Amino acid sequence: MTIKDWLEGLSYKLVQGSLDVEVNEVIYDSRKAAPGAVFVCMKGTKIDSHDFIPQVTEAGVRVLVTEHPVEAPAGVTVVETENGREALALLSAARFGYPSRKLTMIGVTGTKGKTTTTHMIKTILETAGKKTGMIGTNGVYIGEEHFPTVNTTPESYDLHRYFAKMVEDGCECCVMEVSSQAMKMHRVAGIHFNYGLFTNISPDHIGKDEHADFAEYLYYKKQLFHQCDRALINVDDEHIDEIVKDIPCPWTGFGLKEGAGFQAENIHYVSEPDFVGVEFDIKGEHQIPVRVSIPGKFNVYNALAAAAVTLWVGVPAEKLQHALEHLKINGRMEIVYTSEKCCVIVDYAHNAVSMESLLATLREYHPKRLVVVFGCGGNRSRDRRYSMGEIGGRMADLSIITADNSRFEKVEDIIADIRGSMEKTGGKFIEIPDRKEAIAYSITHAEPGDMIAIIGKGHEDYQEINGVRYPFLDRAVVEEVVKNLSI
């Protein structure tokens, strides 16, 4: 391949050299410089990679993509473009042979619900026999393989590398979370989505190094609509008029409102010895009754959205129903254990907003007692501890305060902060610093009708103490305790 072959869709100017130079790799890290590589220069907030041009050309790089005029040795091709990040995305797609074009692409954006909804979509598609790759907050999943990631939406080069592996491994579909930051940073530039899903929006990610204000945040969320064939949008969102204003693709609404293309009605909360979740009827484009094995009204929205998209893809109704009734999403309202005596749930809720939402949801199931096991992370805002302590004291029948990721703080100091706010509520609590012991206590001392929520870590498989990550998974602890008991 030559650099000319890789410039499809990119607006550029040839400043120096020839476009017939052979290339075999795209890099944006100067330390990976080698003959055959194209070096994409970008000006970041801390580093301007244009400064590394002497080093990369000395290492054998013969093609540079820059954002402004530069000095380059004779024999080096210089291509100038307006945005280096966009160039990186388009070049990366070309370098891997445009793998996303070989997949049914589903992009999910919004403030809340992205992770759960993408997991639901993947589960439904795979139940229907469609092997599906997934990219999001919990990492990248391709078949049985899992690859941890730093960002919700990885850098563009990594995205296309993962797409290529999905194609190689026989995936038909890819469902991915598309963050507003990814849009702003052009990580998904050039990717065409067959379907775009907008879960909801509320003020978030506003501040230094993120978004200037809510208007900018919404603007970048809506950019997904410019890259998809068809959109699915939550019509119950309070910002619906702003969301759908001037969108360039056909869209369908989902929600509880009468007239939505996909409407949920006859919602019931179900708590049985072998099933805890919600059931409702889908009406509109399809009429299908479903049971969803994850509690909460917000999971009605997540399941409704997942159902709509997968029905568009062509999943049969019976496969959809089976998948939703047998869902398991690690650390997201995960029902780890149910019996005649109690129900144990693991969830990632690790701040005041998510904790309050979770406990309010579980209250709708009318447990005899609502027990919450939680701590707070060290070296983080103490306000989080105060607010979570207050919510636990006010909303739970019993709070068991324990360790989370203490990092470089003493667990006892973190617990003391939580205790201070909890005491003001008059709520009942006990302190068990060892998290494993705290989880075991909650189960061994369960009373008939208890609902136990173990929160804060969810899918995390470690506990971070003094800079070291020790293996620890809430679900595994529950399973170990239950195995050794008759409750």
Can you say which residues are annotated as belonging to the binding site? 30, 110-116, 151-153, 179, 187
Secondary element (H or E) of residue 125? helix 114-127
CA atoms within 13 A on the CB side of 223: 20
Q: How many C-beta neighbours within 10 Å does residue 74 have?
A: 6
What lies within 8 Å, CB to CB, of 405 at 6+ separation is 377, 378, 457, 460, 462, 463, 464, 465
CA–CA separation, 182 and 338 (whole Å): 39
Q: Are 469 and 362 in contact (CB under 8 A)?
A: no
Bridging pattern class, strands 369-374 and 251-255 = unpaired
Which one-letter DSSP state was computed for residue 129?
T
Q: Are 64 and 91 in contact (CB under 8 A)?
A: no
Q: How many C-beta neighbours within 10 Å does residue 24 have?
A: 11
Please name the residue ranges forming H helices in 192-286: 214-222, 240-244
Q: Are 308 and 252 in contact (CB under 8 A)?
A: yes
CA–CA separation, 487 and 485 (whole Å): 6
Q: Are 254 and 260 in contact (CB under 8 A)?
A: yes
Show binding-site residues for ATP: 110-116
